[in-house]
Amino acid sequence: MLRDSTDPSRLESGIIDYSQAPPNLPALRWGRSKEAEAVREYVAMMRKFGHSRFDAHECGMYVLRRKPWMTATPDRVVGCECCDIPRILVVKCPYSL
């Protein structure tokens, strides 16, 4: 259980032993600026392919209950009425190919 004063970002970093890259790297700025557009395009494509009421929602870290060392930090959770199974979405916006 977390105390009210616990910083969730510090907790997450501690769990996955993660240190962030400098936030002003051109490739990171590019990815952050293009992510929302990429998600919108993906949602539009899935709706075009017939997935009724397809949508994407922001999410946080997922921890497997029985194996708490196994975590995932997807960019979005996606789903639709026709499939009725939520899925994760990880967005990649390459700075160069």
Other beta carbons within 10 Å of 46: 18
Instruction: List pLDDT tens digits, range 60-75.
Output: 898 989 998 898 999 9
Instruction: List pLDDT tens digits, range 13-72.
Output: 666 666 677 878 999 999 999 999 999 999 999 999 999 999 999 998 989 899 988 989
pLDDT of 80 over the 90 cut:
yes
Residue 92: pLDDT band (50, 70, 90) is very high
Other beta carbons within 10 Å of 30: 14
* Side-chain-side CA neighbours of residue 5 (13 Å): 0
Contact at 8 Å (CB) between 92 and 41? no
Give how far Cα 52 sits from Cα of 46, 58, 64, 79, Å: 9, 19, 29, 9
